[in-house]
């Protein structure tokens, strides 16, 4: 039985998730991580929270040499990172770093990295609309600088985080959506800075993989949620979690009918690791393929579990955003076809949404609403 309590955190939910991620990796996948130096950009965000905890949690089992963590803290969180570094000072090296303007060659140990995970990008619509040019630059300029630096180095894996947003608002006949769907995306509009930057980032990855035979994996996430998502993130799961904690109504800023599938973070991270360790260029949808829930149904699950965990007394309410462009180009439906990831990567998400939301709220209850 794998030990669950280690330095960095004693939150039961997080510890259980770390073990679940590890146990769903195959032997060859674990072997690719052994004796590696791992460099992560955007390590202070939602996904970084789980990657950083996972690599530090299993550093001994995988004989990880070093974790090089880069973050500019524009929207990333620092308190939990400081705690993690303090508990693993020889393993984790944290640097304040801007992928757009700073040179990775100046980061100690970066040239020896075997694994590169590029997460540096704003993913919350509220924040990427505040920082649209920075969002473009992180996904294009920052990515290009990393690709140039590592093009002729011997990497075991390079992971680029694209997005399900590259599909835009798919026509009904393309839902569930496969990787070969070319998208219905607005190149001009409030979401274009994110959507189109991710699309061009994929093109860069494709070109560098062709020219330099780089082992680049592209992941297209579909609506992740769970521990590590800051309640001030402004995305739907965070908004609902914050409302539960503060005892406010679960406010829906639409008619509640748009639908999504939602993937719990441990299932998502397992999928991303499989994409990373695939060892050759390819692109994969990573998410949960069912059930496809309306925003209203998603709120109802938060309501039920909020009552149980927080003695929540709020209701579900409907309103309109003061922001006139809040719903502009917002996809009406989003549901992945994950057949490719299931078949090639043996990816098998298993956490039901009801259970995942309960775990997210339990995590927040244990931590008094914070990430540490």
Domain enclosing residue 270, as ranges: 12-229+261-291+330-351
Which residues have C-beta within 8 Å of that of residue 60, sequence separation ≥ 6?
A: none
Q: Is residue 193 part of a domain?
A: yes
Residue 173's nearest CA partner among 372, 320, 52, 337 is 337
Which residues have C-beta within 8 Å of that of residue 106, sequence separation ≥ 6?
A: none
Cα–Cα distance between 149 and 270 in angstroms, integer? 27
* CB distance 158 to 217 below 8 Å: yes
- 302's enclosing H/E stretch is helix 295-310
Cα–Cα distance between 225 and 47 in angstroms, integer? 10
Q: Give 80's pLDDT tier (boundaries 50, 70, 90).
A: very high
Q: Is 208 exposed, middle or buried (0-12, 13-18, 19+ CB in 10 A)?
A: buried
User: What percent of the chain stands above pLDDT 90?
Assistant: 86
pLDDT the model gives residue 254: 87
User: What percent of the chain stands above pLDDT 70?
Assistant: 95
Residue 46's nearest CA partner among 228, 271, 287 is 228
Q: Is 116 helix (H, G, I), strand (E, B) or coil?
A: strand
Q: Is 337 helix (H, G, I), strand (E, B) or coil?
A: coil
**CATH number, residue 203:** 3.40.50.720
pLDDT the model gives residue 16: 97
In the residue annotation, 181 being an active-site residue is answered as no
Answer yes or no: is pLDDT of 329 > 80: no
Residue 286's nearest CA partner among 204, 202, 349 is 349
As beta bridge partners, residue 6 has 9
Q: Is residue 306 part of a domain?
A: no
pLDDT the model gives residue 369: 85
What's the pLDDT tens digit per position in 122-165?
888 888 889 999 999 999 999 999 999 999 999 999 999 999 99
Q: Give 278's pLDDT tier (boundaries 50, 70, 90).
A: very high
From 49, 181, 194, 225, the catalytic residue: 194
Question: What is the distance of C-alpha 323 from the center of its chain?
Answer: 26
- 259's enclosing H/E stretch is strand 259-260
Q: Is residue 154 part of a domain?
A: yes
Which residues have C-beta within 8 Å of that of residue 359, sequence separation ≥ 6?
A: 13, 17, 226, 227, 264, 351
Q: Say how many Å lie between the first and final Cα of the chain, rounded.
A: 26
- 263's enclosing H/E stretch is strand 263-264
Q: Is residue 204 part of a domain?
A: yes
What's the pLDDT tens digit per position in 177-230?
999 999 999 999 999 999 999 999 999 999 999 999 999 999 999 999 999 999
Q: Is residue 88 part of a domain?
A: yes
Cα–Cα distance between 47 and 265 in angstroms, integer? 8
Q: Is residue 254 part of a domain?
A: no
pLDDT the model gives residue 6: 56
Phi, psi of 71 (to 5 degrees): -160, 135
Q: Is residue 129 part of a domain?
A: yes
Q: Is residue 247 part of a domain?
A: no
Query: How many domains, in total, are found in the chain?
Result: 1
């Amino acid at each position: 039985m794998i030990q669950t309590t280690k330095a960095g955190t004693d939150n039961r939910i997080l510890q259980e998730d770390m073990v679940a991620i590890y146990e769903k990796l195959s032997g060859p996948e674990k072997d690719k991580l052994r004796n590696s130096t791992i460099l992560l950009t955007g390590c202070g965000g939602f996904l970084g929270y789980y990657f950083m905890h996972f690599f530090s949690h299993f550093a001994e089992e995988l004989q990880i040499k070093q974790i090089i963590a880069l973050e500019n803290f524009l929207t990333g969180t620092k308190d939990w990172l400081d705690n993690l570094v303090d508990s693993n000072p020889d393993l984790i090296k944290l640097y304040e770093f801007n992928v757009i303007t700073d040179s990775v060659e100046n980061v100690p140990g970066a040239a020896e990295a075997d694994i590169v995970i590029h997460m540096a990008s704003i993913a919350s619509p509220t924040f990427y609309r505040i920082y649209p040019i920075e969002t473009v630059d992180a996904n294009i300029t920052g990515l290009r600088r990393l690709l140039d630096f590592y093009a002729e180095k011997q990497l075991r894996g390079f992971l680029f985080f694209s997005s399900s947003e590259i599909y835009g608002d798919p026509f009904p006949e393309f839902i569930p959506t496969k990787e070969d769907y070319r998208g219905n995306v607005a190149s001009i509009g409030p979401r274009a800075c994110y959507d189109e930057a991710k699309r061009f980032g994929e093109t860069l990855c494709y070109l560098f993989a062709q020219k330099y035979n780089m082992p680049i994996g592209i992941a297209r996430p579909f609506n992740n949620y769970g521990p590590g998502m800051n309640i001030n993130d402004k995305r739907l799961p965070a908004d609902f979690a914050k409302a539960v904690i503060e005892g406010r109504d679960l406010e829906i800023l639409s008619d509640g009918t748009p639908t999504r599938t939602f993937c719990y973070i441990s299932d998502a991270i397992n999928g991303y690791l499989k994409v990373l360790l695939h060892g050759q260029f390819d692109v994969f949808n990573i998410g949960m393929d069912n059930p496809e829930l309306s925003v209203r149904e998603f709120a109802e699950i938060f309501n039920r579990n909020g009552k149980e965990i927080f003695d929540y007394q709020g209701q579900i309410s409907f309103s309109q955003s003061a922001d006139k462009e809040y719903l502009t180009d917002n996809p009406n439906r989003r549901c992945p076809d994950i057949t490719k990831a299931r078949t090639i990567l043996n990816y098998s998400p298993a956490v039901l949404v009801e259970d995942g939301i309960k775990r997210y709220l339990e995590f927040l209850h244990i931590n008094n609403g914070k990430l540490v």
